[in-house]
Amino acid sequence: MIPLHLTEPPELVNVGVGVHGVRGLRDVFRLPDLWQFHLYGYSADLTVGGTTYPVAPGSVSLTPAGVPVQFDYRGRSEHLFAHFRPRIAGEPSYVPVVQDAGTTAPVLSDMLRSAIGASPSGSPRVVAEVWAALWRVAQLSAPLTEGGVAAGHSAVAAAISYIEANLARALTVPALAAAAGVSHNHLTRLFRTETGMTVVAYIRQRRMARARHLLVSTTLSIPAIAATVGIPDLQAFNKTCHRELGGAPRAVRAGNAVAAGTRPV
């Protein structure tokens, strides 16, 4: 399961139709600072962070920013997509990386096609359509527990809760495993299955999502932000910002960061 913040509308960067599998049957890429939302009209294998999921017509997937993705197609393949940045506010919904939308798939398709037909991508109407579609996807998941964590494996839910509460502290997989009441290896396997990421990658993604929010939305000093997200070494924080957010902390704050890498649709 992955945490998706939907309390506020996302920052929508692009929405459209992607056509793949024509020139080659494999795509490998990573979007450093954008989440990916796909609604599939074909069958293929999707590998997210090293875990492979079968997708079929009517499947939906959500990929957090910075996670490596590989598509293995079986021919011409068309999907609807949205690239966005969640706004980190309120409690997140926890959703699977891939799930079958079932009878909701036509509704999602209508929402996304309506968003594609309107312009520009960042207009209130387009954002509203995609935001509503994301809420539909979140509601496909299992009901949330009282603590706001999806009813997946209790050890993963416990580890995620511990991470969210302790981002400012040093976090290790053995300590998380102890907090979750399972072995190091078992937590590693469970975490990859449910989130599509390693524990370390998840921690890094959450730290940098919070760092981006604090850089853009507050006047906290950069050293204070670095300490708040558990990377008090400013050189290490600067390096991680460059790698994960596309620029130095000051550039992210000024809105001048340029994300590295390609951005397939």
∠ CA 11-119-217, rounded to 5°:
20
60-93 pLDDT per residue, tens: 999 999 999 999 999 999 999 999 999 988 888 8
Closest by Cα among 166, 161, 135, 137 to 148: 161
Closest by Cα among 13, 167, 155, 170 to 86: 13
**Strand pairing class (93-95; 44-48):** unpaired
pLDDT for the residue numbered 149: 39
DSSP for 27-45 reads EEE--TT-EEEEEESS-EE
238: pLDDT strictly greater than 80: yes
Q: Give Cα separations from 216 to 13, 61, 65, 210, 236 (angstroms).
A: 17, 27, 17, 10, 19
pLDDT for the residue numbered 119: 67
pLDDT for the residue numbered 158: 81
Length of the chain: 265
Q: Which helix (H) or strand (E) holds 160?
A: helix 154-165
Give CA–CA dist 229/250, Å, rounded: 16
Cis-peptide, bond into residue 174, ω within 30° of zero: no
151-196 pLDDT per residue, tens: 457 788 788 878 877 778 889 999 999 888 889 999 998 888 877 8
Query: Is residue 171 a contact partner of residue 163, using CB atoms and an 8 Å limit?
Result: yes
pLDDT for the residue numbered 146: 35
Give CA–CA dist 116/254, Å, rounded: 29
Give CA–CA dist 127/56, Å, rounded: 26
Helix residue ranges per DSSP H, 24-118: 105-117
**Residue 78, strand partner residues:** 19
pLDDT for the residue numbered 200: 92
Query: Is residue 207 a contact partner of residue 193, using CB atoms and an 8 Å limit?
Result: no
- Here the tokens at position 35 are 């989440």
In percent, the amount of the chain with pLDDT more than 90 equals 37
∠ CA 203-206-210, rounded to 5°:
140
Closest by Cα among 143, 148, 136, 147 to 104: 136
If you average pLDDT over residues 228-240, what whole number do you get? Answer: 92
Q: What is the chain's mean pLDDT, rounded?
A: 84
